[in-house]
Amino acid sequence: MASDCIFCKIRDGEIPADALRRDERCFVIRDINPRAPVHLLVIPNSHITSLPGLTPDEREAVGAMFSTAGEMAAIEGVDGSGYRLVVNQGRDADQSVSHLHLHLLGGKPLGGMCS
């Protein structure tokens, strides 16, 4: 938990956001600044800041994020057309919230791998 973390505050209800799904490992919200018709954020409940050194519980949370993303893609109707899962890590990736999260993007052609 980081007291200044937007996603921890959303998790705790201190910042409003409609969770599309929430379980003991992660929760899902719509990105406030969507870059595609479907743009969800899959966020672990625990304040994970980087992938190296994950605890066993955090590893389970990361696995759960991917299966949740797949389920949400189906619910959002983009499992057939396709979608992209993105993790931004650090300055060169323009990461703006340092609490691990998966972007789920879809609903339009997304271009080449890094566009």
Q: In what order do the strands lie in the sheet with 102-106?
A: 21-22, 26-30, 38-44, 102-106, 83-86
Contact between 18 and ligand 5GP per CB under 6 A:
no
- Give strand ranges (E) for 1-115: 21-22, 26-30, 38-44, 83-86, 102-106
Using CB under 6 A as the binding rule, whether residue 31 contacts ligand 5GP is answered as: yes
Q: Residue 98: what residue type?
A: S
Of the residues 29, 62, 102, 105, which one makes contact with ligand 5GP according to CB under 6 A: 29
Residue 61 amino acid letter: A
Q: In angstroms, rounded to a whole number, what is the distance separating the alpha carbons of residues 33 and 36?
A: 9
Distances (CA, A) of 9 to 14, 44, 62, 82: 5, 13, 20, 31
17 scored as a contact of ligand 5GP (CB under 6 A): yes
Residue 47 contact partner, candidates ligand 5GP, Zn ion, none, CB within 5 to 8 A by sort of partner: Zn ion
Determine, following the binding rule CB under 5 A, whether residue 17 of this chain makes contact with Zn ion. no
Question: Which of Zn ion, ligand 5GP, none does residue 115 bind (CB under 5 to 8 Å by kind)?
Answer: none
**Contacts to ligand 5GP from residues 71-90, by CB under 6 A:** 88
| Nearer residue to ligand 5GP within complex by CB, 15 or 74 | 15
Query: Is residue 101 annotated as part of the catalytic site, yes or no?
Result: yes
Query: Among all residues, which ones are annotated catalytic?
Result: 101
